[in-house]
Amino acid sequence: MTAAVLARELSPRAHHLPAAGAVVVVTAVLVGLPAVWGQAGLVAAVAAAQLALVAAWVVATGIRGFLGSLALGTAAAAGTDVALLLPERARLDGLVVVLGLVFLAAVVHQMVRPAPRRYLVASLAGVVMLVSAVCALGLLLTVGRLDGGPRSVTTAVLVVGGTLLVGHLVDVVLPRPQIAYGVPRGLVGLVLGIAAGIGVAVLRDGAATLFDALAAVTAGTVLGAVAALTGLGASYVVAERAQRSWALPVVQAVLPLTAAAPAAYALTLYAAG
């Protein structure tokens, strides 16, 4: 890493405290709106999180074709939500159609950019990841339609929120042993974050029987590990940009949820079966 990059590297405080605040806000929205308005609240909360991620990801990563990338991400979010909510029963078939169409549109979008088309491959990869993320986040809507789904959604969001919050706060003061050079994330924060996620899951669902406790530990471990590792990946994005921006904390708060949503779906299906 060059001296110029080191000079503009964000401090651990600047890296983690805004992200911790964003985690609290996102968690409150995804837990609070469904608690007040039920399924309609869940739809509103997921849609808000998807749109926030679309705007933040395009700004944070510097994807070329700014307006087109925003449009593709928004279309993917809307298409996903409609495809998951329209069927009478909870099904994922419609996601294949959404992903196929938006991927084709993303390829065409990059091809029609004015020459010279710099960073075409990187921009296409960024758009594809964004589309995958907003589609995955939409799975929370399907989880909410399964047996015991509303409680499962709340538990998953709280586990992810607890994991991320503890990880960020620990890494403010002790980003050691450092996982990657130039990224203020440490193994202690990673482990304690996962432990916090397990604790949240046990408090929520593990008090009745030994089987419930084991299931809660398993769910907390899976969701916590997915959230912690994806949060670590989001920190790589922040470290690469090395600048203050409203978009970076949003990416750090929402991106781990997109990875945890498919895991929450699988865990809920297993519990229902």
User: Which pLDDT score is estimated for 150?
Assistant: 95
Handedness of CA 60, 61, 62, 64 (dihedral sign): negative
Q: What is the pLDDT of residue 1?
A: 42
- Full pLDDT tens readout for the chain, 273 residues: 444 444 457 789 999 999 999 999 999 999 999 999 999 999 999 999 999 999 999 999 999 999 999 999 999 999 999 999 999 888 898 999 999 999 999 999 999 988 888 889 999 999 999 999 999 999 999 999 998 899 999 999 999 999 999 999 999 999 999 998 889 999 999 999 999 999 999 999 877 788 889 999 999 999 999 999 999 999 999 998 868 899 999 999 999 999 999 999 999 988 766
pLDDT of residue 8: 57
Residue type, 67: L
Tell me the DSSP string of 203-223.
HHH-SS-HHHHHHHHHHHHHH
pLDDT at 273: 60
Whether 59 and 251 have beta carbons less than 8 Å apart is answered as no
Count Cα atoms within 13 angstroms, Cβ side, for 110.
18
Burial label, 221 (beta-carbon count in 10 A; 0-12, 13-18, 19+)? middle
Output the pLDDT for position 272.
63
Helices 247-272 and 149-173, packing angle to 10 deg: 140
So what's the pLDDT on residue 7? Answer: 42
